[in-house]
Amino acid sequence: MVALDVSFDWHGTSACSTKPPAFVISNIPADTASLRFKMVDLDVPTYNHGGGTIDYSGSNKIPAGAFSYKGPCPPSGSHDYRFTVTALNADGSMILGKGEETQAFPPK
């Protein structure tokens, strides 16, 4: 399994928005057919923020709003959020790569 490099930026993301930020993902394996995104609030890991799976177009740039999720909405202060991105084969049965990035929201 390949380690994906994942980066994103919260700037421009509103609290409680359902539109995820844009991503840049490097080291995506050649046989990747789809990318699965999952976000976890590390301060409240039991809250389901969801995520989504998108068809991989061959670009390492994923535009803002590419999938649906429950955006960061900390009740007060800052929470740490981790996105995990998984590269999948054509039928989704094999994980080809995986990577993650953690950032605080709201951004500083």
Residue-wise pLDDT tens digits, 74-107? 988 999 999 999 999 999 999 999 999 999 999 9
**Average pLDDT over the chain, rounded to an integer:** 97
**Predicted TM-score of the model (pTM):** 0.96
Side chain identity, residue 13: T
| pLDDT above 90: residue 64 | yes
Confidence at 52, pLDDT banded by 50, 70, 90: very high
The domains located in the chain, with CATH, are 2-105 (3.90.280.10)
Q: Which DSSP category does 101 fall into? A: E
User: Which runs of consecutive H residues, i.e. helices, occur in 1-108?
Assistant: none
Q: Helix, strand or coil for residue 79?
A: strand
